[in-house]
């Protein structure tokens, strides 16, 4: 009824927020918070990088989104609706996928069976989703019968990402996709993550390889002691003397 015209840039900018964490406090043990007021915004189609020292709470932050750690205060929203402490199966139904840092494949199952597990909520879509997944991870399509437990670390990581993609998520949470890989394979992993993101999946990636992460992400967050210490575009953070001094000095050079 109103004659409000389109083109309200401020409203649009606000509306495309997909995931938002506001002042999140969360922890595993009674009385001990690991996240101490963490904030994060991921907009539609963004690739967000999270870096920071060991133990800073990076994995915990992803787990707080995916309902795997007790959120004690603060707000977490998905497309504007609260998802605080919602369980993982509910989040999967809403289009959120999570690839954990470790133990992320079923080693006794074949690659194909691993992919099918990712689609348990919509098995009819198998052929269509497999086509998309193998457009990014072509090598897996040729080895569907191979047992996941017989794969290298990098190949397992691909299976884990592929399984997460089978459900056609709108948000992908990735915990250290390059961990344990040789430099060449790390580069490959980052290219795959970029490809997934370019296909339209809003992606939040935690990475130990801080430089490479900041090079490919749209925006990054430095997490320290459970709080976002710095936020900016990947480029800004890479060039920020404080971030370099505190977090990039030795990190990121390990890939050679
Ligand atoms: N299940 C758990 N129970 C109790 N404490 C935990 C649990 N998981 C993690 N923690 C603690 O939470 C803190 C943050 O851990 P987290 O795994 O989030 O850090 P991180 O930034 O991902 O570290 P890394 O770079 O080593 O992966 C650590 O002190 C850790 O010991
Ligand atoms: Mg971690």
Q: What pLDDT digit, counting tens, does each position of 49-82 carry?
A: 999 999 999 999 999 999 999 999 999 999 999 9
How many whole angstroms separate alpha carbon 147 and alpha carbon 27? Answer: 36
pLDDT band for position 229 (cuts 50, 70, 90): very high
0.75 surpassed by pTM: yes
Domain assignment present for residue 80? The answer is: no
Report how far ligand 1's centroid is from the alpha carbon of 231 (Å). 21
Q: Is the pLDDT of residue 7 over 60?
A: no
What per-residue confidence (pLDDT) applies to 50?
98
Mean pLDDT of the chain: 90
CA–CA separation, 63 and 68 (whole Å): 5
Residue 250 — very low, low, confident or very high, per pLDDT cuts 50/70/90?
A: low
Atom of ligand 1 nearest to the CA of 53: 25
Atom 5 of ligand 1 has which residue's CA nearest to it? 28
Phi, psi of 130 (to 5 degrees): -60, -35
Q: Give a yes or no: residue 144 inside a domain.
A: yes
Asked if residue 98 is part of any domain, the answer here is yes
pLDDT for 1 beyond 50: no
pLDDT in tens, 176-204: 999 888 888 899 999 999 999 999 999 99
Interhelix angle for 126-136 vs 183-198, to 10°? Answer: 130
Q: What is the CATH number of the domain that holds 189?
A: 3.40.50.300
Answer whether residue 30 is part of any domain: no
Ligand 1 centroid vs 57 CA: distance in angstroms?
Answer: 6
Assigned domain for 14 exists: no
pLDDT of residue 130: 94
Task: Indicate if ligand 1 lies below 6 Å from the C-beta of 29.
Answer: yes
Confidence (pLDDT) at 166: 95
> What is the 8 CA–ligand 2 centroid distance (Å)?
39
Using the structure block, give the residue that is written with the tokens 């406090």: 25
149 CB under 6 A from ligand 1? Answer: no
Each residue's pLDDT tens digit, 96-127: 999 998 888 999 999 999 999 988 878 889 99
pLDDT at 252 over 50: no
Residue 224 neighbours by CB under 8 Å, 6+ apart: 52, 53, 56, 246, 247
User: Which residues are CB-neighbours of 221 under 8 A, at least 6 positions away?
Assistant: 40, 48, 49, 50, 51, 228, 230, 231
Residue 93 belongs to a domain: yes
Whether 27 is in the pocket of ligand 1, judged by its Cβ within 6 Å, is no
**Whole-number pLDDT of residue 251:** 44
Residue 218: which of 196, 233, 203, 200 has the closest Cα? Answer: 233
Which atom of ligand 1 is nearest the CA belonging to 56?
A: 21
The pLDDT value recorded for residue 255 is 38
192 inside domain: yes
Residue 211 near ligand 1, beta carbon < 6 Å: no
pLDDT in tens, 134-188: 999 999 999 999 999 999 888 899 999 999 999 999 999 999 999 888 888 899 9
Tell me what the mean pLDDT of segment 205-229 comes to. Answer: 96
Contact 24, 74 (CB under 8 A): yes
**What separation in Å is there between the alpha carbon of 211 and the centre of ligand 2?**
17
Q: Relative to the CA of 60, which ligand 1 atom is closest? A: 18
**Count: domains in the chain:** 1
Q: Which domain holds residue 221?
A: 46-70+86-248
Establish if 28 belongs to a structural domain.
no
């Amino acid at each position: 009824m109103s004659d409000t015209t389109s083109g309200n840039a401020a409203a649009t900018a606000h509306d495309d927020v997909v995931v938002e964490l506001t002042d999140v406090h969360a922890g595993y043990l009674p009385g001990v918070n690991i996240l101490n007021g963490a904030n994060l915004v991921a907009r539609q189609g963004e690739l967000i990088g999270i870096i920071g020292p060991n133990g800073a709470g990076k994995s915990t932050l992803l787990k707080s989104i995916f309902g795997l750690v007790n959120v004690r205060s603060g707000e977490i929203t998905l497309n504007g609706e609260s998802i605080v402490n919602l369980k993982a199966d509910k989040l999967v139904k809403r289009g959120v996928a999570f690839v954990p840092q470790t133990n992320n494949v079923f080693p006794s199952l074949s690659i194909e069976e691993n992919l099918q597990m990712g689609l348990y909520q919509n098995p009819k879509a198998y052929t269509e989703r497999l086509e998309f997944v193998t457009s990014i991870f072509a090598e897996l399509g040729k080895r569907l019968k191979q047992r996941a437990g017989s794969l290298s670390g990098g190949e397992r990581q691909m299976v884990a990402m592929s399984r997460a993609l089978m459900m056609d998520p709108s948000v992908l949470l990735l915990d250290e996709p390059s961990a344990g890989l040789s430099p060449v394979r790390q580069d490959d992993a980052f290219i795959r993550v970029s490809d997934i993101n370019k296909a339209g999946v809003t992606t939040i990636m935690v990475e130990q390889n801080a430089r490479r992460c900041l090079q490919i992400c749209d925006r990054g967050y430095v997490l320290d002691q459970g709080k976002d210490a710095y936020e900016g575009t990947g480029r800004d953070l890479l060039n920020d003397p404080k971030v370099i001094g505190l977090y990039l000095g030795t990190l990121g050079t390990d890939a050679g």
